Every structure is written in structure tokens, then in C-alpha cells.
Structure 1
Amino acid sequence: MSESKSGQWQWENAAAGAIAGFATVAAMHPLDVVRTRFQVNDGRVFNLPTYKNTAHAILTIARLEGLRGLYAGFFPAVLGSTLSWGLYFFFYGRAKQRYSKNGEEKLSPGLHLASAAEAGALVCLCTNPVWLVKTRLQLQTPLHQTRPYSGLYDALRTIMTEEGWTALYKGIVPSLFLQVSHGAIQFTTYEELRKAIVDYKFKRSKQNPDNGDNTLNSVDYAILGGSSKVAAILLTYPFQVIRARLQQRPSSDGIPRYMDSWHVVKETFRFEGFRGFYKGITPNLLKNAPASSITFIVFENVLNFLRMARKDN
């Protein structure tokens, strides 16, 4: 594959990933707000609202805070998701291209894993400040005692003023573990399942040419995206809880609730047990399994459209 074609293919991946990320957030954001609030509620802070379950949380937020509450942190979520998916697919495509000898050779599961891990680490370093702001905006409630942030810019400015620029990278350690492991598991699972479905369809088309469409469709992409996401969530979810608890706004005296990742692990296990590391997993699964299906449907179809447009030109 020539260098110019390789670069064009990588940018097509980035564009398709960015569009897919935006579509995902727009559809599923209220569940993301609920997930974040469940994650940080350790039962020991009484100015935080408590919810019985996911449905009760959505109804309570809608009643007390309205649509604004359900879409708290929406702009940084859109920005972060669009950047993350765009950069992820770009870095992932470049890594696969580099690991492949001639640009066309199929990669082994180990090289898919390495490509996804590399992409996850780079994306995490680029986007952590955006996710920190999103978490803080989502945690603002009518019970919040500290002056609320008015939006993304105000949050960034206030955090820099009150806590310094290093605060923008709170939670970076669990974020790195999360991005690397989650993305690696999801994309490796996706690629291996994709190959299995393609092989199955190819064999079926050879056995029955009249009923043998061996191309993948949107249903296939939905199944691949959803199932690979569920596998990644179940194995990496504790990192999300640790990150969310680290990224909370400090109390009015400037003292953070948790000092570092190990402090979160010790305190969570001490007061909540193993179940504490999976708080909010129900809205997380409800949000991310279908969201990942949407992402990969949009990504694959946009990518196919861009490739067809390039061929026509």
C-alpha cells in the first residue's frame, strides 16, 4: 500500500470514528450521567443524591433537575467521545499498518492487542482533561454546595485556578489502565469475532451460492460491537469506578476525598466490598452495549462510504 493511500485510509478511519462517537453520545448520554453518579456514591457523603436503581435515577434527575440534569456534561462528553473515537481509530489504524509487513497482511490476535493498547494509551493522554470536566459537570446537583461550573470553559479555568494544571490529569493512572485494557480487549474481541463471521459467511456462500451473501451488514456490526463491548466492560469496570472517584471536585477546604488510586481501592474495599467496584454497572451496560453497536454500525458504514467515494474519484 502506498504512503499516500495509507495516510488517506488512516484519515478515513479517524473521520468515521469521530462521526460514530458523536452519534453514540447523542443517543445515550442520560445513562452516562446516571452511571457516573452511582460510581462516586460510596454511601458516606450525605449531600449526594441516592437512587434505588437506574430507572429511579433517571426519573428523579428528570423531576428535580429537568433535561439539563439528564444532559449535564453533554458538551465535554460529545467533544471527548468524538475526539476519543476519532483519535482511537486513527492511532489504531496506524499501529495496525505499522505492524503489518505490507499493509495487507492479516494481523495475529497479539498484534491486534498491541495495536489497541498503543492507541488507548495515546488517546488517554490526549483526552483526560475533557473526561475530568465531564465527570465534574455530571456530579453537579441541586445539593452541591460548591459554586457550580457554568460549562466546559468555566470548569477548565476554575480547575486551573483553584487546583493547578496537574488537576486536569487526576485519574490518569486508572485511565491509562482502563483505556489500554478496555480498548485492547474490545478491539481484539471485535476483530476475532469479525474474522469468524466473515469465514462463516464465506463458507456458506461457497456451499450455497444462491443464498450466499458473504458481506457483513449492519446487524453483524451491531452484534460485533455490542458483544465485544460487554466483554471489555465486565473485565475493566473497576478502573472506571476508581477514575470517577479520583476526579471528584475537592471539598470546600480544598482536600480531595481520595488521594490516589490505591487509596480508592483500599477505602472502597473496606467500606463496600468487592461490589463497590461495580457500582453503576447496570446503566453502564445499558448505555454502552447498544452505544457500541451504534458506534460500529456508523463507523463501518461511514468507512465503506468513504472508500467507495475514493474509488469513484
Structure 2
Amino acid sequence: MTAGGGWSSGRRSTREIICDAGAGAAAGAIAATFVCPLDVIKRRLQVHGIPEVRHSGHKGSIIITSLQNILRTDGLKGMYRGLSPTLAALLPNWAVYFTTYGYLKGLLHSHVDSSGQLTFGATMIAASGAGAATAIATNPLWVVKTRLQTQGMRPEVVPYKGICSALRRIAYEEGVRGLYSGLLPSLIGISHVAIQFPTNEKIKSYLAKKNNTTTDKLSAGEVAIASAISKIVASIMTYPHEVVRSRLQEQGQVRNSETQCAGVIDCIKKVLHKEGLPGLYRGCATNLFRTTPSAVITPTSYEMIHRFLLRALPPDEKHSQAQPESDGHIKLQQENEGKGENSDTNLRYSQNPSNTRSPLFPLGGTESSFSTLEWVNFSSNQLSGPLPYGIWSLTAVRSLDLSDNSLEGEIPQGIESLYDLRAVNLRKNNFSGQLLEDLGGCLLLKSLDFSENSLSGGLPESMQKLSLCTFLSLRGNLFTQEVLDWIGDMGSLETLDLSANRFSGRIPNSIGDLQFLKELNLSTNQFAGGLPESLTNCINLLAIDVSQNLLTGTLPAWILKLGLQSVSLSSNKLSGS
């Protein structure tokens, strides 16, 4: 699982943070509720060892025996002891984790492998840093959870009444040290996520390569398999630290106990002396038993909830670095005003016939200052020749505007290296060839304008990953083939302009999935069939233009009920009376 599905330079919109934290917390809460009984058993086995079997002759299953003991002493309520602090800890837990994880991945975005993915080591660093921040922020709540789950097994200890009661008593009786008991093994335990997350990414990459697809197109079953395997591997490798952490967190309830541990090393020595190596893996089988369903439930729930939130929450306009004007042009927000920039400067670069990658301006080499550029606006100049490949080395760029020039030739691949790109405007040039296959790698794109060029072929399927894009204009090109159903995956679109091309086939029903769509322009193409009734789902739609196509059938009555401000169906083959 990745935060927000992409990398940024640490600057994340409120919408992205809400989607990541909300989806993660909800998925974690679902999984925690499902496996809570097994979690209670695991904690008790870690702290108190194997339960005594009262019936002679048949040892039975440890899990079944533990369940029977809990039901006999605490009833059904005991099966869910500690669920409240678990759920209370999950929201800050995932909020801190995903925010920190996304931020660190953004800082490490230059450390990528040949496939454009973060290297194993970089992912380990990001996962470890996020795990450390999460452990420090939420340790008191996990202490409370452990105490509540195990307190019924110590009749001499006055039980806690709830989360607040436990927090107050621990703070009063044991101080800050009690609230952060077990923190050291928790920090050591970040090795768990440091192993789990990179392993998960590698397994998904393997499955994607095996199926000749990309990781974002893996099925729910394949994602679940990758998550389960990586979780099991990490759990087996790091489980001893959980035993030590649980015993240190729980022992604060007992006074003058000969078994109290002075610290991590002392706890390990006592466990090994009394129980041997199996003592460090006490409850591991139960943990693995609960790990598998949890590892399946959490990522699957996360993906579904995250997708829902992305569609339900409107795009964060304040955070967007580019907004479309009424004529479809991109209006760049000049947050860097007063920094001495001059967009009217006539910039030229030499065109070398033997080198199609001649630089627009000095890139690479000793000119390291260019790596900090965030806004580039060379629009309305006299730039000519091919677009240099080196333009994609400006990895910090968030807004790129080269519109209204005379640039020509094919656009070079490599745009996916601009991890933080929010807006790109190449309108009104002479670019030819196909649209960039790696365009879908710019997961943070909000505005995309390639209109008034000579681009041809079909739309790359990778564009379906651009779930944050609000503005897409490809008008005035030579695009052909059909517009596929995946267009509905671009769920944040507000403006979609594919006019003046050569698109054919039926207008896809999935356009009705674009709930935020306000303007739809498919005019001057070769679309056939009728208008999809799924457009009635676009409750924010204000303008439709499908003129000059090959649409047939009767004039749809429902189109007049959409509350449109503008509609054009002219020059088609529609009938009716």
C-alpha cells in the first residue's frame, strides 16, 4: 500500500491527507474488529504463556482453550477487550503513518530503479521513518490496549474502567515512563514495516511483470496475496520484539514482582532462561492466524475506501497550482510573484540537426540550481525545434507551461520522472506522434492541456491513473480509435475537451462516473450511436457539446432535465418529433 498512490515533495493537499488517513484508519478499524478475539489471545499468550488445560487426557488446541477460558471468565465482552483503545489509536496511527510515509517518499523521490519505482533501500527508509513517528505518537494508546486486554488475568489489580481511566491512572501511578513503556522495542519493531513494505512492493512488481501489466492494475486477489506474504515474512522475522514489548507494557500493573524486567535485554534474558527460544515466539501461531485475514482485509478495504473518498471529496482548489479558464487555457497561480521571474522574456535555443535533444537551457552538469525549479512558464515566445529530453530532469517542477510556441516533433518519453507535476500546458505547438505512454506516472496531475497540436493515435491507458486530474483538453489534434471505458476512472475531472479530433465508436458509458464533471466537449469527431443515459449521473454538469458527430437515434428527453446551461447536438443524425 502506498500513500496517495504517488510521491510528492512533502507538500500534500488536505484532500490527499484526508483520503490517505481516512481510508487507512477505516480499513484498519474493519480489520481490527474482525481479528480482535485473536489479538486478545495473542496478547495473553505473549504475557502469561500457555494456559493451563483443566481437562486431563486431551491437550486440545491452544487457541480453542484460550477462547474457552476467556468466555468462561469474562464472557463475550472479554473477546473484544481492548477494542476501544485499538480503534481510538488507529486514526492517529494511520494519519501519522501515511502522512510521514508520503512525505519521506517525496524526499527520496530521486532514488528510483530502472522501472521508476523507489529502490528497496529508499522504501525501507521511508517505511522505517514513518513507523518511528507512529510508534512515538501512539505508544500510550497501545499501552492502554495491552493493559485492558490482559487485566482480567490479574485479580489482585484494580481493573481500569476505560481508556481515559487507564491513561489517568498510568500517568499518575507510573508517570510518563509508564505511558511510554515498551517504546524501545516498539522502535526496534519498525524493522517489521521496514521489511513488510519493500517486500510487498517487490512481490507486486513481480506479479505485475508476470502478468504483463502494472502494479496499479493488479486484481484484489493479487494485492491480497502480496500483502499476506509480505506480512507473514515480516511477522516471523520480527515477532520476538512483540513478546518483549507486550511484557514490558503489561508489567507496570504488578508491584514487587520477582519477574519484573529492568529493560529490553533483561526481559530477553529472563524469557530465554525460563522458556527458551520458544518463549520469544509465544503466540506466534495465533499471530500468523490473525495476520492472514488482516492482511487480506486491510489493503482491500483501503483501496475501496480510498477510491470512494477520492470521488466523494471535491478537488482541493486552493492546493491546485493551475486552473482552467473559460476558454480552456491554463491560468497559472503565480505563488512565486516577486521573485524576479519574467514570463515575457524571448527565450531561444539552438537547433542542432544532428542532436534532437539539444537543451532548451543548460540542464544537468554543474547547473544543479535547476533541480529546485518549481514553476516554469515559457509560454507565448518563439521557441522552435524538438522538445529536449532534458526537460524531464527538472524533477521538482510542479507547473510546466510551454504553450503558444513553435515546438515540434514527438514529445520524448520520461515525463513520469516529474513526480510532483500538477499542471502541464503544451497547447498550440506543432507536436506530432503519440501521447506519452508514461503520462500516467504523474499521479498528482490536476491540469493537462495538449490541445491544438498534431498528436495522433489513441489515448494511453496509463491515463486512467490520473484520478486527481480536474482539467483535460486534447482538442484540435488527430487522435483516432475509440475512447475506452477507463475514462471514468479519472474521477476528479471537471472539464473534458476531446473536440476536433477523429475519435470514433460509441461514447463510453463510464463518462457517467465523472460525478464532478461540469463541461463536456466531444464535438467534431466521429462518435456514433446515442448519448449514454449514464450522463444523468453527472449532477454537476453545466455544458454539453457533441455537435458534428455521427450520433443516431431519438433526441433523448432526459437531456433537458439535467439543468444544463448550454447544450449543442447540432449536425448529427438524431431523429424525433
TM-score category of the 2 structures, normalised to the smaller one:
0.7 to 0.9
CA offset at residue 98 of structure 1? 1.8
**In structure 1, which of residues 188, 191, 200 is the aligned counterpart of residue 210 of structure 2?**
200
CA offset at residue 234 of structure 1? 0.2
Q: Distance in 2 between matches of 1:82 and 1:214?
A: 25
- Asked whether the 8 Å contact 2:181–2:248 carries over to 1, the reply is yes
**In structure 2, which of residues 194, 203, 215 is the aligned counterpart of residue 184 of structure 1?**
194
Aligned to 1:68: 77
Aligned to 2:169: 158
- Asked whether the 8 Å contact 1:146–1:252 carries over to 2, the reply is no
Q: Which has the higher contact order (CA 8 A, sep 6+)?
A: 1
Q: Does 1:144 align with 2:155?
A: yes
Aligned to 2:57: none
- Asked whether the 8 Å contact 2:25–2:95 carries over to 1, the reply is yes
- Superposed, which structure 2 residues align to 1:68-107 within 5 Å? 68-101=77-110, 105-107=116-118
What count of residue pairs does the alignment treat as equivalent?
A: 299
CA offset at residue 235 of structure 1? 0.3
**In structure 1, which of residues 275, 279, 287 is the aligned counterpart of residue 282 of structure 2?**
279
**In structure 2, which of residues 294, 297, 314 is the aligned counterpart of residue 294 of structure 1?**
297
- Superposed, which structure 2 residues align to 1:130-279 within 5 Å? 130-141=141-152, 143-178=154-189, 180-202=190-212, 215-248=217-250, 249-253=252-256, 257-279=260-282
SS in structure 1 opposite 2:158? coil
Aligned to 1:120: 131
Q: Distance in 1 between matches of 2:131 and 2:118?
A: 18
Aligned to 2:24: 17
- Asked whether the 8 Å contact 1:54–1:282 carries over to 2, the reply is no
1:283 corresponds to which letter in structure 2? Answer: T
CA offset at residue 24 of structure 1? 1.0
- Asked whether the 8 Å contact 2:36–2:79 carries over to 1, the reply is yes
Q: 1:93 to 1:279 in 2, by over 3 A?
A: same
- Asked whether the 8 Å contact 1:20–1:298 carries over to 2, the reply is yes
Structure 1: stretches of 5+ with no match in the other structure: 44-48, 206-212
Structure 2: stretches of 5+ with no match in the other structure: 1-6, 54-60, 316-491, 494-515, 517-577
2:182 corresponds to which letter in structure 1? Answer: G
- Asked whether the 8 Å contact 1:39–1:244 carries over to 2, the reply is yes
Q: Does 1:38 align with 2:45?
A: yes
- Asked whether the 8 Å contact 2:19–2:306 carries over to 1, the reply is yes
Moved more, 10-19 or 257-266: 10-19
TM-score (norm 1): 0.87
Q: Deviations over 1:250-275 (max 9, x none)?
A: 32458881111011011011111111
- Asked whether the 8 Å contact 1:128–1:169 carries over to 2, the reply is yes
Q: 1:143 to 1:40 in 2, by over 3 A?
A: closer
Q: Which has the higher strand share?
A: 2
- Asked whether the 8 Å contact 1:20–1:296 carries over to 2, the reply is yes
CA offset at residue 97 of structure 1? 1.8
1:97 corresponds to which letter in structure 2? Answer: G
Q: Which has the higher helix share?
A: 1
- Asked whether the 8 Å contact 2:224–2:299 carries over to 1, the reply is yes
- Asked whether the 8 Å contact 1:221–1:300 carries over to 2, the reply is no
1:168 corresponds to which letter in structure 2? Answer: L
Greater Rg over alpha carbons, structure: 2
Q: 1:142 to 1:128 in 2, by over 3 A?
A: closer
Q: Does 1:59 align with 2:61?
A: no
Q: Distance in 1 between matches of 2:257 and 2:244?
A: 20
SS in structure 1 opposite 2:306? helix
- Asked whether the 8 Å contact 1:113–1:184 carries over to 2, the reply is yes
1:40 corresponds to which letter in structure 2? Answer: V
Q: Deviations over 1:33-65 (max 9, x none)?
A: 00000001258xxxxx54660111112211221
Q: Deviations over 1:216-250 (max 9, x none)?
A: 22212211221111011000000000001101133
2:277 corresponds to which letter in structure 1? Answer: F
Q: 1:254 to 1:159 in 2, by over 3 A?
A: farther
1:146 corresponds to which letter in structure 2? Answer: V
1:91 corresponds to which letter in structure 2? Answer: T
CA offset at residue 169 of structure 1? 0.5
1:300 corresponds to which letter in structure 2? Answer: E
- Asked whether the 8 Å contact 2:85–2:142 carries over to 1, the reply is yes
Moved more, 226-235 or 88-97: 88-97
Q: 1:276 to 1:253 in 2, by over 3 A?
A: closer
CA offset at residue 27 of structure 1? 0.8
CA offset at residue 286 of structure 1? 1.1
- Between the two proteins, what is the percent identity of the paired residues? 33
Q: Distance in 2 between matches of 1:173 and 1:55?
A: 32
SS in structure 2 opposite 1:12? helix
Q: Deviations over 1:85-135 (max 9, x none)?
A: 332222212211221149994211111111101110000000110010100
1:272 corresponds to which letter in structure 2? Answer: E
CA offset at residue 194 of structure 1? 1.3
Q: Distance in 2 between matches of 1:169 and 1:269?
A: 24
TM-score (norm 2): 0.49
- Asked whether the 8 Å contact 2:224–2:296 carries over to 1, the reply is yes
